[in-house]
Structure 1
Amino acid sequence: MGWLRLGVLVRFVPVSVVIGFTNGIAVLIALSQLRDALGLQVSKMPADFFGIVHTVGSALDTINPYSVALAGLCIVGLFIWPRLWASDSAFRQRLDALQGGVTALRATSRLPAPVVALVTRSLLA
């Protein structure tokens, strides 16, 4: 499509349609991740919205508390990691006051929060 320059056709799609499509996909992806986040014992997740809601609702009695804890830690970590390295954070100010070994810690400040969450939570699991 790019070779034929058909990307210009996107201009004719209303912004509200693009936003609605994107939000719909986001909701489906979030719902499909509930099985793993809650540790539900479901053999196969359906692909449609109402099927996912029904399957998750009927399997709520199989919630794994360890999976819920890992998912919660991951979400908290995604929000905390960037704030640790903000220029006005107390952690960063204490780090700047130290004299030795700071370069390794500064290098970790460049790591994206999802990568940190993936590695640390995989080790915890």
Structure 2
Amino acid sequence: MPDSFWNLERLRHMHINNRVTFCLQEDNVENTSLLENMDTLSTPALSYGEDTEKNLRRLPKLRKLRCIFLELWDNLSKFNKFPILDFLSHLQSLKIFYHGMIRYPCDFSFPSNLKKLTLLRFRLPWS
């Protein structure tokens, strides 16, 4: 394949099928830094945790994110935990699909500059 075929610097939009999780390997930082111009990421499966945050920090200019939140709750603190997203300073549109059951109060961390937020299948109580 020609080198230009694998040129990730030009990649702006990515769609992932079938609830795939992703990991941008730390030992391959040279290639993952090329994703800094990514504009749109669609349907990765994300969960609360350090790995998710590390991966998303490699997409600093992300403007649109459509994702699936995988269920994670902490019985000790009695909170549903969701991925931390408040550091995505360019994020304008966030659409989240959730297939779990809200058991406890939710601990969300969304960017303050968000213009559009869509929550699907959260079954959040009015309280």
Q: TM-score under structure 2 normalisation?
A: 0.20
- Larger strand share, 1 or 2: 2
Q: Rg larger in 1 or in 2? A: 1
- Larger helix share, 1 or 2: 1
